[in-house]
Structure 1
Amino acid sequence: MTLNVASVLSDAWAMAKRDRELLIGVGGGLILVPEIAQAMFVTAPPPLPASGSDTVALQAWIEAVTIWSRQNDLLLLGLSLVSVFGALVLFLLYADRDRPHVASALSSAIGLLPRYVLLALSVTFPVNIATLLLLIPGLYLKGRLMPIGPLFVAERPIGVVAAWRRSFALTRGHGLVLLALAAVPLLGGDLLAMPFQMLGTAMDGAPMANPIVAALLDIGVGLGRTLGVIAAILIEVALYRRLSSGT
């Protein structure tokens, strides 16, 4: 089967236009708010050293990251849980066979959250590590796992290992195409947030900088990231529907 990427993107865009109010309500409360809070209250992690062969710089970076993690881990954990819960609610609204209303999706998401968190961790860690080491393998793995969220909901009960196998089975033969597709929402969200981040960095400590301007910039960063997350969810749902139906 040839995967029509244009049709997947078209399906995702159609859902976004049709369900604009739903996405604003659910995404705004459960994804946008945590993203804004993270932009406002969590400092950026220390940047990687310029040279990976400089052991002194690498050790200093590890120590800096350890301190940063101690200062931010509880807040990041709480905000991440809310965002993951929001993503799960959206997957339930779009992929659950019973087509629940928002209230039913919220209720179902509470019971499914522990297993979904385990699934999300099983995807996030290897994808992030692969991306840090080499970008292309990370995006390839992300692409092969793109249907895993909606299939976890649509084909439940299903375990983590079975979900991985099912996702790889659905995406067999489409690895390179999905590598590129995985980059669309990821880079799109970062690109939307980047101007606000750059402006905030340029204004940091400047006489004209003030709390209101800083808050507006943080809101811009959070909004850009949120759009990327919601775009990823809709693309994953559209992709799963086409792969599972063979169209």
Structure 2
Amino acid sequence: MMRFSYSAIWADTVNMLKSHGSLIGAVAGVFLLLPTLLTGYFLPQPTPSEADPFGPMFEHFANNWPWLLIGNLFNMVGAIAIYLLLLRGREQTVGRAIAAALPILPFYLLMSILTNLAIGLGLGLFILPGIYLLGRLFPASPVLVTQQPRNPLAAIRDSWALTRGRGWAVAGLVAIVFVVGMLVSFVITAILGSVLLLAGGREGIGGMLVLILSSALTAALYAVLTVLVAAIYRALRGGPESTVDLSKGI
């Protein structure tokens, strides 16, 4: 069985971020940062109460789901474009990647709904099944983007085959990067946010600058996770130039 090295995958992630940083940054700025910033400004999330911690969130989603969906669709176009930039060769440009991402979006959306439903059901069953399914289904995104013809069910099947014997390893790596990223974002927001609020006031420019900072950090983490999943996909395939036979048993 192919060796699944966290250090090698992270090194590939860093290398892709360095070599494609300007392209990824351009896509992330429009499709990750801007929707997050606008949603945070016009549709701020309510503060949960101790008596009903989930009620305000459900109400917020029920009242604003069309705009939240549009924001998520922008995020998906950004993720698809990043995968295309990383996995389709150096001839890709930002404009070409965005144009190519749009016809993929409907298939990507359907695949995301199916995988999120499966992971959500798994998380409801004592959490661990959901974490395992997350590890098995995460590579479905780059699989769908690179496959021809587009088929959400085939992408899920191929992701399941690629991660055979590696589900917990994939989930563990994604969880580590996510948790570390969230901690870094929290520390930066706490330190710089406090300075900005003291300088500009919570209701003035300070509050707006904190929102921009928080949105930028969220978009950056989303972009890093997207590149990480691309690196995981490449590792599971055996490297950028090799392929994996997905016709064998799961």
2:170 is equivalent to residue 169 of structure 1 = no
1:53 corresponds in structure 2 to none
2:211 corresponds in structure 1 to 218
1:141 counterpart (115, 124, 133)? 133
Shift of 1:15: 0.7
Higher relative contact order (CA 8 A, sep 6+): 1
Shift of 1:94: 1.6
Structure 2 contact 33–219 (Cα < 8 Å) conserved = yes
1:15 corresponds in structure 2 to 16
Distance 1:183 1:113, change over 3 A: same
Q: In structure 2, how many angstroms separate the alpha carbons of the residues matched to 1:209 and 1:61? A: 24
- Structure 2 runs not aligned, ≥5 long: 243-250
Structure 2 contact 16–86 (Cα < 8 Å) conserved = no
2:224 is equivalent to residue 231 of structure 1 = yes
Map 1:1-247 onto structure 2 (within 5 A): 1-44=2-45, 47=48, 63-96=55-88, 99-131=91-123, 134-195=126-187, 208-245=201-238
Q: Output one character per residue of 1:109-166: Cα deviation in whole Å (capped at 9) or x when no partner.
A: 1111111111122223333454466444333222212211111111221422211111
Give the residue type in structure 1 aligned to 2:106: P
Q: Output one character per residue of 1:57-78: Cα deviation in whole Å (capped at 9) or x when no partner.
A: 5xx5565344222332122111
Shift of 1:44: 2.4
2:245 corresponds in structure 1 to none
Q: In structure 1, how many angstroms separate the alpha carbons of the residues matched to 2:207 and 2:165? A: 46
Give the TM-score, by structure 2 length. 0.81
Q: In structure 1, how many angstroms separate the alpha carbons of the residues matched to 2:113 and 2:65? A: 15
Shift of 1:224: 1.7
3-state secondary structure, aligned to 1:245: coil
Give the TM-score, by structure 1 length. 0.82
Q: Output one character per residue of 1:157-199: Cα deviation in whole Å (capped at 9) or x when no partner.
A: 1422211111111111112211211213432443243346668
3-state secondary structure, aligned to 2:141: helix
Shift of 1:92: 1.4
Structure 2 contact 201–207 (Cα < 8 Å) conserved = no
Q: In structure 2, how many angstroms separate the alpha carbons of the residues matched to 1:224 and 1:137? A: 29
Greater mean deviation of Cα atoms: 133-142 or 26-35: 133-142
RMSD of aligned alpha carbons: 2.9
Structure 1 contact 189–229 (Cα < 8 Å) conserved = no
- Structure 1 runs not aligned, ≥5 long: 50-56
3-state secondary structure, aligned to 2:92: coil
Give the residue type in structure 2 aligned to 1:113: L
Distance 1:39 1:187, change over 3 A: farther
Shift of 1:228: 1.4
